[in-house]
Each structure stands twice: as C-alpha cells, then as structure tokens.
Amino acid sequence: MVEDLKGKETWRLFRIMSEFIEGFDELSDIGPAVSIFGSARIQKTSKHYKKTVEVSQLLSKNGYSIITGGGPGIMEAANKGACVNGGQSVGLNIVLPMEQRPNKYQNRALHFRYFFARKVMFVKYAVGYVCMPGGFGTMDEFFEALTLIQTHKIFPFPLILFDKAYWKPLLDYMGTTMIKYKTISKEDLDLIDLTDDPKEVLDIINRHREKKDKLIQQALEEEAKAASKAKVLKKNNRQKRG
C-alpha cells in the first residue's frame, strides 16, 4: 500500500513538471502580456463584459498579448477583445467541477490540472494585471501578485482594479481596518491602481513598460561598461607582467 502511494506521488511530480515545461515552451514568445481576471458568471449583456472587451481591444491594439483563465464571462470577454483584433489571445484553462468551459476566442490555449502551475504562467509573462469584478478566484490572483510584489519576490508591475463601485469598498477596508490593526502599511496601498477608464489602464501599463525598458537598458549599459573595464584591466596586467 505504501509503495503504491509512493508511485502515485512520483507520477504526480512528472505531471506537474510537464505542465511547467509546456507552459514555458508555449508562452516564451508571446511578448509583453497583460493578465485579465474576472468572474466566469458575468453575462454577455453585462456592462462589465462590454467594458472588458473594450479594455482588451485597446491593450491588444497597442501590442500587448492578453492572458486569461480561458473560461466564460469576463475571461471570454478579454479573449474576445484580443482575438477579434488579431492579437495574441491566450487561455490558461483548468478543469473544474463547474463554471469552467473553454471559450472560443483563444488562439493559444493551454490546459492545466494544477492551480499553482497555472498561476506561475499568469505572473511570469505579465507586465500588468487587470482585475475586473470577480469572486474568490479573482481576489486570489490579485492578492497573490500583491504579496509577491510586497515581499520583493517579483519585479513590481501594475495591479489595476477596474470598476470603482465594485472595488472601492475593499480598498476602504484595507485603508481603514487593516491600517488600524497595522497588518499592512500605507505604502502597500500605493501598489494598487483603481480606475473606470480603459485608456487609463493602457496609460498605467505603458508607463510601467517604459520605466522597465529604461531600467533594463541601464543595466545592460552598466554591464557592458564593467566588461570593458575588466578587459582593460586584464590587458594592463598582462603588459605589466610582460
């Protein structure tokens, strides 16, 4: 019995590894991407569905791939906005007992069994998160990314909550009760953006991308200078020995 359990755990590790490998291989060339989250229960007639399509179209037109959980509702709207615009529309699908059915607007689809492997793909290739109105799953993705940024485990990127009426009560709670009990710092709230404007979503992400590109360029230049200096020192040392 114990040996059987060991065997099952071993094969589970192989399945986990395969999900990471497939994800890295499939998404390595998608370029800058924005992960969009929101409820699977939102209907096509909802204003939130229509706003999500608008946000996704705007981001796609400006060169961003769109990543979603691949399901219905807000996820479908986000994939639709990218797909109809001819952009990269990625769906990270997962098997669930309810709600999750792959939407038809994915032009690149992956399928996961494990939430944690799927979460890595959301954060690894994103230059920003946009959270439309959603439930526990949306909050889970949002707070995990917020924690990773707060603890300096990943490079900071925009965490955008879309729809002030929906998200403001949560931010009010964080800014009053959580601050009062000192479970978070005031500075932590600076990591979050709140908006109702699709154009502001694009502006926030563009500013972040430009800043990140400058930092990368500066790092490359400093690395090149250090390499050049090391080369000169090495040459001078050879000449001294000669």
Alpha-carbon gap, residue 221 to 146, rounded angstroms: 30
Query: Which residue carries 């890595």 as its tokens?
Result: 120
Alpha-carbon gap, residue 77 to 52, rounded angstroms: 6
Alpha-carbon gap, residue 129 to 121, rounded angstroms: 12
pLDDT digits (tens, 9 = 90+) for 163-203: 999 999 999 999 999 999 999 999 999 999 999 999 999 99
pLDDT digits (tens, 9 = 90+) for 37-69: 999 999 999 999 999 999 999 999 999 999 999
Q: Would you tell me how many other CB atoms lie within 10 Å of the CB of residue 65? A: 23
pLDDT at 32 exceeding the cut of 60: yes
**Closest listed residue to residue 160, CA positions, set 207, 192, 188, 187:** 192
Give the pLDDT confidence score for residue 188 in this predicted structure. Answer: 96
The CATH number that applies at residue 56 is 3.40.50.450
**H-type alpha helices, the chain:** 2-27, 47-61, 74-83, 115-124, 136-150, 164-173, 179-180, 198-241
Query: Within 13 A of 101's CA, how many CA atoms are on the CB side?
Result: 6
CA-CA distances (angstroms) from residue 223 to 154, 227, 230? Answer: 21, 6, 11
Q: State mean pLDDT over 94-113.
A: 84
Which residues, listed in sequence order, are joined to residue 160 by a DSSP beta bridge?
A: 130, 193
φ, ψ dihedrals at 220, nearest 5°: -65, -40
Alpha-carbon gap, residue 32 to 224, rounded angstroms: 25
Tokens (6 digits) for 237: 């040392």
Give the pLDDT confidence score for residue 49 in this predicted structure. Answer: 98
Indicate the pLDDT class of residue 3, thresholds 50, 70 and 90: very low
How many domains in the chain? 1
Q: State mean pLDDT over 5-30.
A: 86
Report DSSP state, residue 85: T
Report DSSP state, residue 107: S
Domain that holds residue 192: 2-241
Amino acid at 83: C
Tokens (6 digits) for 107: 């032009």
